[in-house]
A and B are shown apart, each in its own frame.
Chain A
Amino acid sequence: MEFYQQVLQYLVTGVTLGSIYAIIALGFITIYNVTGIVNFAQGEFVMLGALIAISLYKNQVPIVVAFVGSVMVTTLIGAALQRIAIRPAKGASTLTLIIITIGASITIRGLGLITWGPDPYSLPAFSGDQPIAFGGAAIIPQSFWVFGATIVVLGGLYAFFEWTLLGKAVRACAINVSAARLMGISPSSMALFSFALSAGLGAIGGVVMAPMTLATYDMGSMLALKGFVAAIVGGFTSTPGAVVGGFLIGILESMGAGLISSGYKDAIAFVVLFLVLFLKPNGLFGGRDTGRGGL
């Protein structure tokens, strides 16, 4: 294969990977914008999405139903997590909340291990395995699903936040909790909603990527980390920033793995993280000078 073809192939892979990271990053910032919490269990939603869909499919449920069912179940789990573990710790410090979501993350992962065991599972591709040639690179059809899912999710979120009352309420909460409360918006319901939404997003990511990788109970942590880096690169509060961050990490990772060394593939995202922290601590797109201190 020619060098240029190789690069193109890595680019295609990178965009696909990046789509997944972008969806996960969107999940992170959805919760963060509303509650100020970075949810360390975000990756577990992806795992749950993938494995629940696979289990449903194995039990003769049609793939479309398995997809929707898995996303719905995971959404409920996200809501339950907020009610069981986050709400009771009302008023807790950041440190406490971090530890709670870490606890939630490893609990869910452990429950995943008990439910599905340590073995990897796979899901058939949604529309076949026949690669499509594209300027010398081969694209597997599932890539379009993954990429499409990101676009749909991004569009859906945009429409939701811009055009619906609920979306506006969530945004109001993100901007100013006490003002939102004065306007009759309950921050607690919004927090619940943000966890549910975020879990649903993670699950969508999990289902669409399941046919491309083998799904295991511990797949979530690495994905969450990369999604997190994508969110940081994007400034952590910006929706388009998160998507661009996701693609950037995906492409860099794929290029790095292909052209430099595949062993260090997982380290690339963190090298990017450290570079961003050194050079642009507010992310590539964030320049806002906001003291969240509020003295």
Chain B
Amino acid sequence: MERNGIGKYENYITLGALIVVMGSLPLLLSNSYHLSIMAFIGINTMLAVGLCLLMGYAGQVSLGHAAFYGIGAYTSGILTTTFKMNPWLAIGVAAVFTGVVAYVIGVPMFRLKGNNLAMGTLGFGIIVYIIFVEMRDWTGGPSGLTGIPSLSIFGFTFDNDLKYYYLIWAIALLFLVLSLNIVNSRVGRALRSIHGSEIAAETLGVNTNKYKIQILVVAAMYASVAGSLYAHYLTFINPQPFSFKLSIEIVVMVVIGGLSSVWGALLGAATTTVLSEVLRGVIPQFLKGATGEYEIVVFGIILMVVMIFLPEGLFSGSVRIVKSWRREKESKQRTVDETAIVEPSSVVAEGHLAVEDK
């Protein structure tokens, strides 16, 4: 069956192709700067996929997603430095903890509809950021935590960009697969029904609140794992990357990718990460002495333009336009080729074929 413009088999093919490409990419990029950017695309993919489920599928905006990312990073950081916990265990504990936090704030938050939810999550993001800065005894305050151990397993230590690249992408792809499965399931349909018409969904037996909270928890846990990996990869953290600006960037990733497209989230993460990096290099060249967050102008314009003209997102929107354009061409051809009237029964049969395809 067709979903987000990509069929199920196409999903497997895309996934296979992606594994091959991501697996062999390091052979082309030996430069550690490029590798680290690729690793960050993987981390951002985890963030974007989660938000895509929440925002694109369930239609619930979160402007505080960076907070979950930060909670993951800090929980891992604190557990492995102050408490000397095993890093892998810490990643799991952090994910569960972040999930619990998401649940606890999700319950009151989802009493808010649309607009207010956005502000509520924004506020949550700000509170968490303030906590990172202010709880110095735990978080090290503005200067952060250092000495977070690298990950290692059975004597194999992840001690360079290449190794982290593979680790991060293995997990990012795992999250992609899990998300695709969720999307193509009863639960995914329930999520989309909330976006389509919340009232209709409820009267058809969908406990909309339950699913909103569940998907928030899933998205938060993805972000938490991304944060933990970030912490172990860089071995130090401070509050700065977990601010409102990142929350907005994650929204940009999802919007570029296509709100309800899991693959789009990956594309959006890649585009946004690279764009952000390029802008950081380019802007100071024509704005002398520019040191601030100038790139937000570009992101702001992207958000407005895409939402005005392609509200389903840049990637999905373009796919849809190309498809409908192709279909138009096909149907024109068909009326030319086949003058015979299409029997209704044969159309029904086609429908059944599609059933078997599934």
Contacts and interface: CB of A to CB of B under 8 A. Distances in A.
Interface of A: 32, 37-38, 40, 85, 88-89, 92-96, 98-100, 102-111, 113-114, 117-118, 221-222, 225, 228-229, 232, 236, 261, 263-264, 266-267, 269-271, 273-274, 277-278, 281, 293, 295
Contacts of A274: 105, 108, 120, 123
Contacts of A98: 61, 114-115, 118
A114 B291 CA distance: 11
Interface residues of B, number: 51
Contacts of A267: 126-127, 130-131
Interface string B9-27: 0000000000000000000
A104 B304 CA distance: 7
B340 to A, nearest CB: 40
Interface string B283-307: 0000100011111111111111101
B124 interface: yes
A99 B109 CA distance: 18
Contacts of A108: 300
A96 B260 CA distance: 13
Contact of B111 (A32, A102, A263, A281): A281
A38 B120 CA distance: 12
Contact of A293 (B55, B61, B199, B296): B199
B248 interface: yes
Contact of A114 (B119, B120, B294): B294
A99 B123 contact: no
Given A96-B307, A278-B108, A102 B126 contact: no
Given A102-B303, A225-B122, A267-B127, 13 more contacts: A95-B55, A98-B115, A102-B118, A103-B299, A114-B294, A222-B126, A228-B119, A263-B130, A266-B126, A270-B123, A271-B127, A277-B111, A295-B199
Nearest 7 A-B pairs (CB), nearest first?
A: A103-B303, A107-B300, A110-B297, A38-B115, A94-B114, A103-B304, A106-B300
Contact of B244 (A103, A221, A261, A263): A221
A233 to B, nearest CB: 12
B297 A229 contact: no
B59 interface: yes
